[in-house]
Chain A
Amino acid sequence: DAGVIQSPRHEVTEMGQEVTLRCKPISGHNSLFWYRQTMMRGLELLIYFNNNVPIDDSGMPEDRFSAKMPNASFSTLKIQPSEPRDSAVYFCASSWGGTGAYEQYFGPGTRLTVT
């Protein structure tokens, strides 16, 4: 089975530019999560969706960040405009609540560098 797919794997951009990160969850999973990981702040949940609907976006840092999930097989996280402090590894994860345990499966991450 293909796992969670993220693209691009690496992104280098200049401050002020728009950045779009993409995620394809595992087929059949009904929840999708976006995380950010930095040395200083560790692993932070930004937003999560259930059945394509945003459930909790309290972790989104500010209005520069937005996320969409137009269908069950695709999600985007957009940063506009980007700033150097957005440099981090961004992970997407998906899960299926049918087992009741809600374990999440993570993608390989997108390493974002904003100069």
Chain B
Amino acid sequence: GDSVTQMEGPVTLSEEAFLTINCTYTATGYPSLFWYVQYPGEGLQLLLKATKADDKGSNKGFEATYRKETTSFHLEKGSVQVSDSAVYFCALSIPHFGNEKLTFGTGTRLTIIP
């Protein structure tokens, strides 16, 4: 079945450090890939997405590139801020009618220290 494997957390970084959160996937079809972010006390928010191989999703300084050859979608940011502290979820969906479920990774908790 489809699955997503994320880097285990928690991850603690100093402000302005470089961030990478690894995500790899297994899918039977051609998935769309997503990163969601959950700030404390809130629901999940879509951070970025990519729908085909070599697409790069980007938002708020975060980037992720859909790598079909390595089945990966790693999240990166060049300089993190305290406000980036949150839980990050990698997810995939196989876009065909009647099966719109997202398969989520377990989440990676990120804490940024001033």
Contacts and interface: CB of A to CB of B under 8 A. Distances in A.
Interface of A: 4, 31, 33, 42-43, 45, 48, 50, 55-56, 91, 93, 95, 97, 100-109
A31 B100 contact: yes
B43 A102 contact: no
Interface residues of B, number: 21
B45 A106 contact: yes
Contact of B49 (A4, A103, A106, A109): A103
A109 B98 contact: no
A97 B46 CA distance: 15
Interface of B: 32, 34, 36, 42-46, 49, 51, 89, 93, 95, 97-98, 100-102, 104, 106-107
7 contacts: A42-B106, A55-B98, A56-B101, A91-B44, A101-B32, A101-B51, A106-B44
Contacts of A106: 36, 43-45
A53 to B, nearest CB: 10
A108 B93 CA distance: 22
A54 to B, nearest CB: 12
Contact of B100 (A4, A48, A105): A48
B71 to A, nearest CB: 18
A100 B30 CA distance: 12
Contacts of A109: 42-43
B43 A48 contact: no
The 10 nearest A-B residue pairs measured at CB = A106-B43, A106-B44, A101-B32, A102-B100, A102-B93, A100-B95, A108-B43, A101-B51, A31-B100, A109-B43
Contacts of B95: 97, 100-102
Given A101-B49, A101-B51, A106-B44, 15 more contacts: A33-B101, A42-B104, A43-B44, A48-B101, A50-B100, A55-B98, A91-B43, A91-B44, A93-B44, A100-B32, A100-B51, A101-B95, A102-B100, A104-B46, A106-B43
